[in-house]
Amino acid sequence: MVQQSEFIWFDGKQVPWAEANVHVLTHALHYGTGVFEGIRAYECTDGSSEVFRLREHMVRLLDSAKIIGFKVPYSLEELIQATEDTLKVNKLAGAYVRPLVFVGEGAMGVHPGNNPIRVCIATWPWGAYLGEDALEKGIRVKCSSYTRHHVNVMMTKAKACGNYVNSVLAKTEAVADGYDEGILLDTTGHVAEGSGENIFMVRDGVIYTPHISQVLAGLTRDSVMQLATDLGFEVREMSIGRDMLYTADEVFFTGTAAELTPIREIDRRQIGEGKAGEITKTLQTEFFKILKGDNPDYEHWLHRYTLD
């Protein structure tokens, strides 16, 4: 269950959580016409707080809306400020942040007509997405029977609400089969991503990940690739077959929610030593230093704020 906070920023105002409602004939509820982001705020070791790559997330939100074909009635700077304001009014030093832009009520039918574009930003406390033990012990995953969207079937570079029915099916199937998460293959049969994560594998000291053309351009993915390169690791983008995952030394997921989560088993095959590998642990350690504000080299990724 979501741990409720006090207010949600909704169409330019701070609205009490229980009053941030929409009509049942809201267009997005019926047709998936919305775009969203997943963002995290962290409490830093110096007592301040930061929102990780807030500006880049909001740029992607606006890009997603443009791809889907509607104009957001707020500027980039307004959305950034609204996020900070909402964290402060809810007194959250660390939180999950969910901006959502969607087509409201009005015309009913596939064409949204002149229905209003509505915007909300919700913030609430949230721990490890895949469980606290997952960050250390790793998780069990399966290759899903569902295929990731083809680039000309859905707008795969938009973080669009309707796209995620595909993810819901894959995740639900994985959990029902006793796994923690699913891996989706693309329409060529190559590894794409998890239901809500990007994926990496390590073989002989080299880090591999599916090419950007095959996946959603995750900001945690980008951050980990930059971090790994800065640490001296070789990072390659390439097409990856599922059998390559089976014989990898290490495999891990990245994502705002998943952070950096090791994978210990895929399709009943143990990966490496069956726990977080050395490169995964190194990246985890250094990544969390950044999130906690302990590496000044990456300060430009942090949107700092303090609670009044």
Beta strands in 26-156 (DSSP E): 34-36, 39-43, 49-52, 95-103, 117-124, 139-147
Residue 1 clears pLDDT 80, i.e. is over it:
no
CA distances from 63 to 8, 79, 172 (A): 23, 13, 29
Q: What is the mean pLDDT of residues 77-98?
A: 97
pLDDT band at 161 (very low <50, low <70, confident <90, very high): very high
The length of the chain, given as a count of residues: 308
| Mean pLDDT taken over the chain | 95
Q: Is the dihedral of CA 255, 261, 266, 272 positive or negative?
A: positive
Catalytic residue among 159, 281, 289, 292: 159
| pTM metric for this prediction | 0.95
Q: At a CB cut-off of 8 Å and minimum separation 6, what does 78 contact?
A: none
Residue 19 φ/ψ, nearest 5 degrees? -100, 0
> Each residue of 174-223: pLDDT tens digit?
999 999 999 999 999 999 999 999 999 999 999 999 999 889 999 999 99
142 is annotated as an active-site residue? no
pLDDT band at 130 (very low <50, low <70, confident <90, very high): low
